[in-house]
Amino acid sequence: MWIYEKKLQYPVKVSTCNPTLAKYLIEQYGGADGELAAALRYLNQRYTIPDKVVGLLTDIGTEEFAHLEMIATMIYKLTKDATPQQLRDAGLGDHYANHDGALFYHNAAGVPFTATYIQAKGDPIADLYEDIAAEEKARATYQWLIDMSDDPDLNDGLRFLREREIIHSQRFREAVEILKEERDKKKIF
Amino acid sequence: MDEREKSYFTRMKSYSPYHSPFDPCRPIGKKFYSTPPNLYIGFQPPGMEQFDPHTALRKGTLWPAFWDYYENPYEAKG
């Protein structure tokens, strides 16, 4: 069960009406390394991972939904009140033709989200290594987005999200260490 | 991380890719890649320094050792 807190994890502020940035940001919404893929991946893998790290996957998977909500807010704000002409000029003509201003789970190139973006191998090490890779890929995506964005307020939010990817990667790495450890055995090196 | 490791610990690395006289784009010079602190620390040791709660909420981490500010490294090239 979840309890919803009606506020964002980090305040989202956007300085300019910039639908082009929204087009890029949608990569983190419905892309292969996006927040939706992350949330679904962790919240699904957690059923078949050793007890010691189930809680970690639940916590991080839940936080990914909070990030998804931030990305959605950014995209919404960047395109709100934009005219069809502005959307067309920003390369969002294809999106407008299908969705008007609605958000949709696809990547920056318009490829719809698919469950094949995520994996669940059932092997704890394989799954955790996938999770670490996913966090690093999301971190890189945030870097490329910051590189292309000239909106300081938006970048502030993107930097927060990038930092969270670093922390998540750290915790998954620690989970691997926990699972590697010999149980009930004195550590002698 | 011991003191010796800290001394050569940088959060951004770079290399210079080969540029052929027949490559049409102006050489980018250095290519950069990020190597954030989570790659170096291993299992987090107890008793690490903390940000105050308000600062931590803004930065996205409670731990200064894990904080990694990112800036577009190519901006100055114009």
Tokens linked to A55? 């809680």
Nearest to A74 by CA among A8, A140, A168, A148: A8
Q: How confident is the model at residue A77 (pLDDT cuts 50, 70, 90)?
A: very high
Q: In terms of residue numbers, what domain contains B17?
A: 3-73
Number of other CB atoms surrounding residue A78 within 10 Å: 24
Chain A residues in contact with B43 by the CB 8 A cut-off are: 174, 177
Torsion of CA A128, A132, A133, A139, to 10 degrees: 150
pTM: 0.92
> Quick check: is B58 in a domain?
yes
> Quick check: is B46 in a domain?
yes
Compute the distance between CA of residue A64 and CA of residue B51 in angstroms, rounded to an integer: 23
> What does the radius of gyration of chain B's CA atoms come to, in whole angstroms?
17
How confident is the model over A78-91, as pLDDT tens digits?
999 999 999 999 99
Chain B residues in contact with A164 by the CB 8 A cut-off are: 60-61
| Number of domains, chain B | 1
Is residue B11 within 8 Å of B34, Cβ to Cβ?
yes
Residues in chain A: 189
Q: What are the boundaries of each domain within chain A? A: 19-106+118-180
Closest CA in chain A for residue B33: A140
Domain A19-106+118-180 class in CATH: mainly alpha
CB-based burial label for A56 (10 Å; 0-12, 13-18, 19+)? buried
Query: HSE of A95 in the Cβ direction (CA atoms, 13 Å)?
Result: 30
Compute the distance between CA of residue A167 and CA of residue A127 in angstroms, rounded to an integer: 18
Is residue A105 within 8 Å of A113, Cβ to Cβ?
yes
How confident is the model over B11-67, as pLDDT tens digits?
999 999 999 999 999 998 899 999 999 999 999 999 999 999 999 999 999 999 999
pLDDT higher at A98 or B75: A98
Say yes or no: A160 contacts chain B, CB-CB below 8 A: yes
Residue with tokens 């305040």: A11
Compute the distance between CA of residue A167 and CA of residue B29 in angstroms, rounded to an integer: 31
Say yes or no: A9 contacts chain B, CB-CB below 8 A: no
How confident is the model over A149-178, as pLDDT tens digits?
999 999 999 999 999 999 999 999 999 999
> What's the pLDDT at B77?
47
Compute the distance between CA of residue A105 and CA of residue A31 in angstroms, rounded to an integer: 8
How confident is the model over A46-72, as pLDDT tens digits?
999 999 999 999 999 999 999 999 999
> Quick check: is B38 in a domain?
yes
Compute the distance between CA of residue A4 and CA of residue A2 in angstroms, rounded to an integer: 6
> What's the pLDDT at B76?
60
Chain A residues in contact with B57 by the CB 8 A cut-off are: 10
Q: Is the pLDDT of residue A187 over 70?
A: no
> Quick check: is B78 in a domain?
no
Answer whether A147 sits within 8 Å of B59, measured CB to CB: no
Residue A64 is a catalytic residue: yes
Compute the distance between CA of residue B37 and CA of residue A166 in angstroms, rounded to an integer: 8
